[in-house]
Amino acid sequence: MLRIGRWMGRLWSVLVLVALIWSFPSSSATPEADALVKVASSWGQLFPTWMGSDPCVNWERVTCSMGQVVELNLSAAGLSGPVPPEIGRLTSLRKLDLSNNAISGPIPSQLALLQNLQMLSFYRNPLNSPFSMEILQLRNLTELRYDVAGITGPIPESISNLQKLEILFLGNNSIVGPLPAKSLGSLVNLKQLTLWGGQMKSPIPPEFGNLVNLQYLNLHTCTLWGGLPRSWSNMRNISKMLIYNNDLTGYIPDSWQSLTTLRELHIGQNALSGPFPEWIVNIPIAKLEMSRNSFQGPLPTFTPTMPLVNATQTNISLYCNYFNGSYPTFELGGLVNVTGNCFTNVPTRETDNTRNVCNRQFFCRDFYMRLDNGCAPCPAGNYIYDDLSICTCKPADYVEPFVEQVNRFPYEAVIGGMVGSLSMVLVVVGLCRWDPIHKRLPFDPFALFTINEEDYEWDVPKGVHRFTIAELVKATGNFDKQHEIGAGGFGKVFFGTLADGKTVAIKRASSTSFQGHVEFRNEVNLLSRLHHRHLVRLEGFCEDQNLQILVYEYMKNGNLGEQIARLKEGKVMGWYKRLEIAVGVAQGLDYLHSFADPPVIHRDIKPTNILLDEHMVAKVADFGISKATLELDTHISTRPAGTAGYLDPEYMLRRQLTTASDVYGYGVLLLEIITGQQAIDHSRKEEFNLVEWVKPRFRDRGLEAIVDEALGEDYDKEVFTNMTNVALMCASFSKNDRPTMKDVVSYLEPHLRGVQLSRTNSETEAHSRRSMLQASDLERIVASGRHSGVLLRSMRFMTTVPLHTPATSFVSASSTEVDATGIASTLLPR
């Protein structure tokens, strides 16, 4: 038996060894298996299932047909380094997905051997190389995803080789012009085309009118100029068109009325002019974005029966234009966004009366008092070059593409150059003598030398330092990751030490939040005017080497969210410090709503946006950070902005942002301060939403059921009870049931003053004074007729709680109800 056992053991070892040898590719493995293993190992990745000689047998990420590898999906596989030449041995491949890796360029010549390839994706890889000529040899491609891949230089004219393409994504690269319009226009099978984020500096291509099968076109932020091509009316299948944030001018062509399949049209942030197209109301466009242009004239009377209105459900943005006539009375609940126009009967605040005849919001483009010949001014460095009736402009430095001709002496060019030079001299002399008050110059001759938007004269606000990129690189160790202290919607945040030893927080814009120079400077102007003890101070900015950076005072103790999280670790924040922070935040928000010019709505009140300095003084942050990509646009009447748990539910319902939305967020934040819990916590089994968790417990069981257990008995029950009442009033569902931040300050501040007095007076005397102050402030609120009904309605569910507050804190049911929205102006869209 022992001998048999030994024999069986040896047999088992031999079988295991044979299995191991058989499982790895060897000389008997198929060429494709050998190529795949070499490709994976070159990229520093080995897949556990890639064993055996046949890749068509249970190899992950590999798809076969008829015993050949036809699909290879290596998306997000942790690949890094250049593309291995062995990839060219997979000649049966039809689909190759290499997206979301760290693959670098250039692409090897062997890629051109994949002549059966139909789909190729290099999406989100740092190739950082010119457009691959190897890809242009893959004539069977129907889908090429080459976006966010660090592609540099121009698009080759030979892109026309890829005649079978249906999807071509080249967006968010470092592509430069000129745009090969004829080549791209020859790809008549295209259904989706994106080129956004490049530096084309080319006219918007009329040749794209040949793309009759196109359904999706994204050309936003491409530095395109000129008028909207009439030929685009041939794109009868187009469903979504994004051409915003360019230098487009002129009118919307009437021929576009044939684009009856259009469902999203984004043409905002250009210099388009002319009247609102009458035909557009007959097309069921689901989203119409025409904001920040120079459209003029009256608006049509929008009615729910119109195809446009019926489809958009009021998702129409027309703000920051020059529409005039009487303020439109929409039958849509007033939700179409028309702020910042020239209507004659716009209700304005008293401080607006000193502004121009138009009700311009500060975030609108520069206001022009008149239009010359009915045309809006051209963008900087451009001049009108076409028929004045359509008002199209072109850059003064634009040079027509070179066309090679037969070699001969260029008599016409020499004579033309001499005449042109003489004409320019005469024009410059004439313009210098022309009175610009009577007529706007058709173009600025000096724009030939100063056409860069960065170079226009701008008075940097006093008290704000303009840093160089060299200063900030030195301060942050070249933006080293060890200096990184956070990230947000604007971009990453670093701490740095300046040459004078001062520590600052440096916010560098990400590619998705990058804005135009005018918008960025408007933001700096705004931030420079906001000064309050409880707002984070702007120290300076940097606008250098195409970077946009804001420099703030450094807040040593991080944010309130971190402090609340530490409460769970046993690090207790005292009750008085919590009251002090609550009052400080309220004072900062009251300043933004009531004293800033123009008033500012924060839009995202939450603990991580409340920073604490070395003395634990609370300061509101991120009240001026904006986003430029329209997909992230969060203007007052579009999609909700903010963070789950702090979002105003009425804003979610009605898409109308007011100061009351900030009040709601403050109410949730105040509850977090009191309870030490998070706004949304799925571990709370009774209710993960903090507001709904607090309401019944506070009503039925009192303060002890909600207050942070870490405080034990060491807190002022009267103060915390009243803080909870205020928090729940602020977090009311309806904005009409919320107080203003001014009311919140007037109600909480006396508690803080009373506690401060108690340090020098007896507890009894302090309590008496605090009660008198509290009663006095509430009487003033009631006497002013504001929010008396608000206080009553909000306290209905709290009346069973022993409040220990003076009788004057409660108001009668006969009190007048008033709207709690307060000032409804808003900050630059974020």
Q: How far apart are CA 513 and CA 494, in angstroms?
A: 17
What lies within 8 Å, CB to CB, of 786 at 6+ separation is: 740, 743, 818
Q: How far apart are CA 10 and CA 18, in angstroms?
A: 12
Task: Please check if 287 is assigned to a binding site.
Answer: no
Q: How far apart are CA 59 and CA 75, in angstroms?
A: 15
**Helices 717-730/690-701 angle, 10° precision:** 130
Name the DSSP class of 477.
T
One-letter amino acid of 175: I
What lies within 8 Å, CB to CB, of 541 at 6+ separation is: 464, 465, 466, 467, 524, 548, 549, 550, 551
Q: How far apart are CA 78 and CA 93, in angstroms?
A: 21
What lies within 8 Å, CB to CB, of 516 at 6+ separation is: 245, 269, 453, 628
Query: Tokens representing 584?
Result: 């400080």
Q: How far apart are CA 590 and CA 453, in angstroms?
A: 36
Identified catalytic residue from 147, 247, 604, 648: 604
Neighbouring CB atoms inside 10 A of 513's CB total 20
Quick check: 770 and 751 in contact, CB under 8 A?
yes
Q: What angle do CA 620, 621, 627 make, to 5 degrees?
A: 140
Quick check: 107 and 132 in contact, CB under 8 A?
yes
Quick check: 159 and 187 in contact, CB under 8 A?
yes
Long-range contacts of 519-525 (CB under 8 A, 24+ apart): 519/363, 519/626, 519/628, 519/828, 520/548, 521/458, 522/362, 522/363, 522/828, 523/624, 523/625, 523/626, 523/828, 524/460, 524/461, 524/464, 524/550, 525/461
Query: Tokens representing 810?
Result: 């409660």
Q: How far apart are CA 509 and CA 526, in angstroms?
A: 17
Quick check: 266 and 242 in contact, CB under 8 A?
yes
Q: How far apart are CA 719 and CA 738, in angstroms?
A: 20
Q: How far apart are CA 584 and CA 749, in angstroms?
A: 9
Residue 474, φ and ψ in degrees, nearest 5: -65, -40
Name the DSSP class of 388.
T
Neighbouring CB atoms inside 10 A of 524's CB total 21
What lies within 8 Å, CB to CB, of 371 at 6+ separation is: 273, 294, 296, 322, 377
Neighbouring CB atoms inside 10 A of 91's CB total 15
Q: How far apart are CA 315 and CA 773, in angstroms?
A: 47
Query: Tokens representing 129?
Result: 């190389």
Q: Please report where in the chains the tokens 């690189």 appear, as a residue.
A: 473
Query: Is 604 an active-site residue?
Result: yes
Q: How far is CA 714 from CA 707, 711, 736, in A?
A: 11, 6, 35
Q: Please report where in the chains the tokens 């706004």 appear, as a residue.
A: 679
Q: How far apart are CA 134 and CA 141, in angstroms?
A: 12
Quick check: 483 and 495 in contact, CB under 8 A?
yes
Active-site positions read 604
Residue list for the binding site for ATP: 507
Summarize the annotated binding site as residue ranges: 507
